[in-house]
Amino acid sequence: MRRFPDGFLWGTATAAHQVEGANTSSDLWLMEMMKDSVFAEPSGDACDHYHRYPSDIALLKALGFGVYRFSIEWARIEPEEGFFSAAALDHYRRMIASCLAQGVVPMVTFHHFTAPLWFTRDGGWEDARSVGRFARYCERAGKALGDLVDYACTINEANVPIMVTMMREAVGVAGGGGKRVRALAEAARLSGGEAGRFAPYLSGDGHAATPNLIAAHRKAYGVLKPLAKGPVGMTVALNDFQADDGGEALRDMANKAINEQFLESLKGDDFVGVQTYTRVRFGKSGVLPVPDGAERTQMGYEFYPEALEATIRQAARVSGCPVIVTENGIGTEDDTRRIAYTRRALDGVLRALADGVDVRGYIHWSLLDNYEWLEGYRPKFGLVEVDRATQLRKPKPSAYWLGEVAKANQL
Ligand code: IFM
């Protein structure tokens, strides 16, 4: 079978901080701009998507995609605790309306890594008040936008804090721990917060954040369900965890802590968003290096598109929810490898579908070459190249190729 089911969703994704530019009320803006930053470079103007969204949406539509997954930025909507910016909410309403006017289905993520500076200064997700704070923001944003929202994702990759923390623990302080701790202390000082409380999503303590993130999703689901026009779910970053001889116990431990406790918490949701890039292999005493001779992506990951099929099956089995692939892609300068990667990943989607797994769509990461967090602008995940000096967009061959797959609904 080479055809996808009728109504299969085809889309591309971005996230606010990675493309909008000038996210000045966010926690990461401060961390990027400070001396001795742990970020390779600041996000700056990014892709100026904040102003260029109408033509970017038109571009993805012209390429053949029918869905645009993007995030609204909490730091713009609630830049100070309790102050909700009507102007920011109006901006996002115009953006969602622009999707609808152009025949594109909007999939809106309410939290994608960045948070308002006040939130992170005051303990971020490690403070139990994060659950109520996030629900209050979702309620305000849901009331302002929900009638237009076809798909809502509460939290992007709620398992990333625990994943990053466990990887850091596996590597120890030699893996950059000292610099991270100093940066957090400096961010606390610069933001006028208490020492030890500054807790950003990507570099805080995932053990402390996880119960709050799971509870926050559950509460936000309840808040958004009556407000959003369409299905509500959450997305999970799923590595395909595999074991070499003797690595089974470690693999199972990682699977439980990083993948399955989150998937289990989604039972009964409208969908689970699967976001997959590679596999991770475990040996007896830890994570194994990428095999000798294997191709690596710009992120240092093994080129292993088959991970998508495995994680789709895992997500469907453990959560019991319909699956939407909400992110999948590759950081590479060689666009022919993007096509090769995506073709093999989609082969896996077809195999899962043939076995009866309920997969509803495939959304590629990313529409644009954008800000890849700690790595800055070096990794190129975009179907569309962005000249950051002129902000000119140039679709790559992969954009035309995947757009044709989407239009034909077949591989
Ligand atoms: O860029 C990120 C995105 O923000 C979250 N998922 C993984 C992508 C690629 O690393």
pLDDT in tens, 291-311: 999 999 999 999 999 999 999
The answer to whether residue 2 is domain-embedded is no
Q: Is the CB of 15 under 6 A from ligand 1?
A: yes
Q: Which atom of ligand 1 is nearest to the CA of 275?
A: 6
Q: What is the distance in A from the centroid of ligand 1 to the CA of 10?
A: 18
Residue indicated by tokens 């939407």: 324
- List alpha helices for 288-408, DSSP H: 307-319, 335-354, 397-408
- Has residue 82 got a pLDDT over 90? yes
- List alpha helices for 27-116, DSSP H: 27-33, 49-63, 74-77, 86-101
Residue 106 has a CB neighbour count (10 Å cut-off) of 25
Q: Whose CA is nearest to atom 4 of ligand 1?
A: 15
Q: What is the DSSP letter of 26?
A: B
Q: Predicted confidence band at 176 (pLDDT cuts at 50, 70, 90)?
A: low
Q: What is the distance in A from the centroid of ligand 1 to the CA of 246?
A: 31
pLDDT of residue 169: 85
Measured CA angle at 394 (ends 385, 91), to 5 deg:
80
Output the domain CATH number for residue 79.
Answer: 3.20.20.80
Instruction: Tell me which of 172 and 264 has the higher pLDDT.
Output: 264
The answer to whether residue 3 is domain-embedded is no
The answer to whether residue 127 is domain-embedded is yes
- Has residue 224 got a pLDDT over 60? yes
The answer to whether residue 87 is domain-embedded is yes
Q: Which atom of ligand 1 is nearest to the CA of 370?
A: 1
Indicate the range of 175-179, 313-317, 350-354 predicted with least confidence.
175-179
Q: Is the CB of 238 under 6 A from ligand 1?
A: no
The answer to whether residue 206 is domain-embedded is yes
The answer to whether residue 411 is domain-embedded is no
- List CB contacts of 352: < 8 A, sequence separation 6 or more: 309, 312, 313, 316, 359
Closest CA to 269 of 219, 317, 234, 226: 234
Q: Is the CB of 164 under 6 A from ligand 1?
A: no
Q: What is the CA radius of gyration of the chain?
A: 20
To the nearest whole number, what is the mean pLDDT of the chain?
Answer: 97
Instruction: For a ligand 1 pocket test, name from 301, 371, 381, 383 the mutation site with the most ligand atoms within 8 angstroms of its C-beta.
Output: 381
Instruction: List the structure tokens of 163.
Output: 């994943």
Q: Is the CB of 335 under 6 A from ligand 1?
A: no
Q: Domain containing 350: what range? A: 9-405
* Mean predicted confidence (pLDDT) in 72-97: 98
Q: Which atom of ligand 1 is nearest to the CA of 373?
A: 1
Q: What share of the chain is helix, strand, coil (3-state, %, to 5)?
A: 45, 20, 35
Q: How many domains does the chain have?
A: 1
The answer to whether residue 344 is domain-embedded is yes
The answer to whether residue 26 is domain-embedded is yes
